[in-house]
Amino acid sequence: MTVRTRPIGKLDEMPHARLMSGETPIEEMPRLAARLGAARLYVKRDDMTGLAFGGNKVRQLEYYIGEAVAGGADTILITGAVQSNFVRMAAASACKMGMECHIQLENRVPKNDPVYATSGNVLIDKMLGATLYSYPDGEDEAGADARLSEIAGELRAKGQTPYIIHLAPGHPPLGALGYVDAARELLSQCAEKDIELDDVVLASGSGHTHGGMLFGLRALGCPVRVTGVCVRRNAREQRGRISSRCGEIAELLETEPVVEDGDIILKDDFLGAGYGRVNDQVFDAMRLAAETEGLILDPVYTAKAFSGFLECAKAAQEGQVLLFVHTGGTPAIFGYERELSAAFDAPA
Ligand SMILES: Cc1ncc(COP(=O)(O)O)c(C=O)c1O
């Protein structure tokens, strides 16, 4: 049995909607490796998952939308930051499945910039025909979910059948299943290409990507180090999240809790002033990825995660093999146009 078809608990029995265009490529980054030292460096291009500019959330939405369809929903409700990639891809998924999408945008990043509020992901949300609401607090996950439940009630009263994608913990981590499956895809591609990984580095926000990938790799017996780079909260808080996510994945899939505390590795040195706040480190990471490999990172997630990847690569031993998961977020660069133009207009 190939890795790609190896069962992981009940994964293959879970409701699932096909939204991705296919597997995402793995590319080597030789020019970046030459700049940094001895390690061999790869990138898994999950910015190329294929739906409305792609990104990691397409993998996650396959399981949420699968459950929504199985339950007869006709409307998707979701909440996120103003420049959220998740809500943009939820709106695109809803269009693809013939559903409505209602999006609540939280005031999570303190910014008074009309470009941030209207361009990038927000513009795409509108192009996809989503109904937009705003929520004043960006750090109140339970409150944001409660408001979604109220909107769902209003839609039910009009005869619609809404499905809520919750933000706060305490709900089955369906999104993480997309990355349990991605671990299977990754290992089978590595086997085909004769790549023996030592390290995987990725952004750790809600923890669905980090928790799912880590769980999937361990469930397949792969001991590779998985480093999550914090983009939303500090390492101490994020550790609790990843640990609970991994426990919940085991419950959902009715399989062994394969992740141990020592498997959870987090770096929070690149979080800066907090979620969605940019700084020179962000611009430097974006510049290096672009200059060496033509790779476009986003300022909120992948530039911070890439900074963590660069640190791992610089510390790597001769011959070690590291892989960065590019989780997407590309449209957000247009929401940060002011800061990015100022950074890239200035001499490096
Ligand atoms: C581009 C991008 N990368 C990484 C993440 C973090 O993924 P997760 O929330 O699964 O931890 C997100 C979350 O929205 C994202 O949009």
Per DSSP, the three-state class of 337 is helix
- Please tell me whether residues 233 and 277 are part of one structural domain: yes
pLDDT over threshold 90, residue 11? yes
Q: What is the C-alpha separation between 270 and 336, in angstroms, rounded?
A: 18
State the pLDDT at residue 112: 87
State the pLDDT at residue 215: 98
**Percent over 90 (pLDDT), the chain:** 94
Q: What is the pLDDT of residues 113-168, one digit of tens each?
A: 999 999 999 999 999 999 999 999 888 999 999 999 999 999 999 999 999 999 99
Residues forming beta bridges with residue 100, ordered by sequence position = 75
pLDDT band at residue 342 under the 50/70/90 scheme: very high
What region does 120 belong to: left with phi over 0, alpha with psi -120 to 50, or beta? left
- Higher pLDDT pick, 95 / 1: 95
- Please tell me whether residues 229 and 289 are part of one structural domain: yes
CA of 52 to the centre of ligand 1 (A): 16
Ligand 1 residue neighbourhood (C-beta within 6 Å): 55-57, 85-86, 203-210, 298, 301-302, 327-329
Last residue of a domain, one of 117, 147, 165: 165
- Please tell me whether residues 95 and 133 are part of one structural domain: yes
Residue of 47, 57, 330 to mutate, ligand 1, most atoms within 8 A of C-beta? 57
Domain count, the chain: 2
- Please tell me whether residues 190 and 249 are part of one structural domain: yes
pLDDT over threshold 70, residue 189? yes
CATH of residue 105's domain is 3.40.50.1100
Q: What is the C-alpha separation between 270 and 135, in angstroms, rounded?
A: 27
Instruction: Write out the catalytic residue numbers.
Output: 84
Ligand 1 atom nearest residue 204's Cα = 11
State the pLDDT at residue 4: 77
Mean pLDDT of the chain, nearest integer: 96
Query: What one-character-per-residue DSSP string does 186-198 give?
Result: HHHHHHHHT---S
Q: What is the pLDDT of residues 271-291, one digit of tens each?
A: 999 999 999 999 999 999 999
- Please tell me whether residues 130 and 61 are part of one structural domain: yes
CA of 347 to the centre of ligand 1 (A): 30
| Residue bearing the CA closest to ligand 1, atom 13 | 205
CA of 329 to the centre of ligand 1 (A): 8
pLDDT over threshold 90, residue 346? no
pLDDT band at residue 3 under the 50/70/90 scheme: confident
pLDDT band at residue 37 under the 50/70/90 scheme: confident
Q: Which domain holds residue 183?
A: 3-54+172-345
State the pLDDT at residue 348: 62
- Please tell me whether residues 104 and 199 are part of one structural domain: no
Q: What is the pLDDT of residues 297-313, one digit of tens each?
A: 999 999 999 999 999 99
- Please tell me whether residues 20 and 67 are part of one structural domain: no
State the pLDDT at residue 203: 98
State the pLDDT at residue 2: 80
Helix runs in 103-173, H state only? 114-118, 121-127, 141-157
Residue pair 298/328 in contact by the 8 Å Cβ criterion? yes
Residue of 200, 206, 232, 307 to mutate, ligand 1, most atoms within 8 A of C-beta? 206
CA of 110 to the centre of ligand 1 (A): 19
- Please tell me whether residues 188 and 133 are part of one structural domain: no
The model's pTM is 0.97
Nearest CA-CA partner of 22 in 52, 58, 66, 72: 58
- Please tell me whether residues 49 and 66 are part of one structural domain: no
- Please tell me whether residues 185 and 302 are part of one structural domain: yes
